[in-house]
Amino acid sequence: MSNDNPNRISIVATSGTEPRAPTAEEYGFMNMSADQRRDYIDQMEHAAAKADHDAKEAALQAEIAKATELSVANNAQLQAQRMGFSQNRVTSSRDVGMIAPPEVVAETAVRFNGIEISAQQGKDMVANGQWSEAEYRAALGEALAVRGFKAPGNFR
């Protein structure tokens, strides 16, 4: 009795072992048509490729996280900032004791509407009425405080 069905899978003993009964999954696979088997195999290959890709992506993300952690751990400036030391700290006027000499006032740039201008330009703008004297005093006081000086009482 010959079976000419190309889709039939026979149970064969391999390497000297006794034949075993197929599992439910194997029975399902045996009962599939050739197109269904091809689709099933394609799905399994796709799932394997996706799992491989996901594993590589996870390894890459872990490597990035490790490198970032190492970089942050070796960043002296960031460590100092976290410990409360800041090199970009602006000195407040309470911390400033020495009044700026006229030469320092003359060479100190001030900010007018976000634009840095010289102290003389600021004085000229006050004289022309483009800037109030109080605003000029405040801007000059801030600029001098950054340099560690206290603003003088008179700007004339």
**Residue 89 in this model has a pLDDT that exceeds 90:** no
Top pLDDT among 118 and 54 is at 54
**Given this model, what pLDDT does residue 87 score?**
63
Q: pTM of the predicted model, to two decimals?
A: 0.37
Separation of alpha carbons 23 and 112, rounded Å: 83
User: What average pLDDT does the chain have?
Assistant: 81
Contact 9, 27 (CB under 8 A): no
Model pLDDT for residues 127-150, shown as the tens digit of each residue: 999 888 888 888 888 888 888 887
Structural domain of residue 114, as residue ranges? 90-156
The encoded tokens of residue 137 equal 């005093």
Q: Could you tell me the two tokens for 128?
A: 């022309």
Domain total of the chain:
2
Q: Which residue is associated with the tokens 């600021």?
A: 122
Note whether residue 12 is domain-resident.
Answer: no
Tell whether 104 and 50 lie within a shared domain. no
One domain for residues 47 and 104: no
Count H helices, E strands: the chain?
A: 6, 2
Overall average pLDDT of the 50-63 stretch: 96
Determine the pLDDT at residue 10: 59
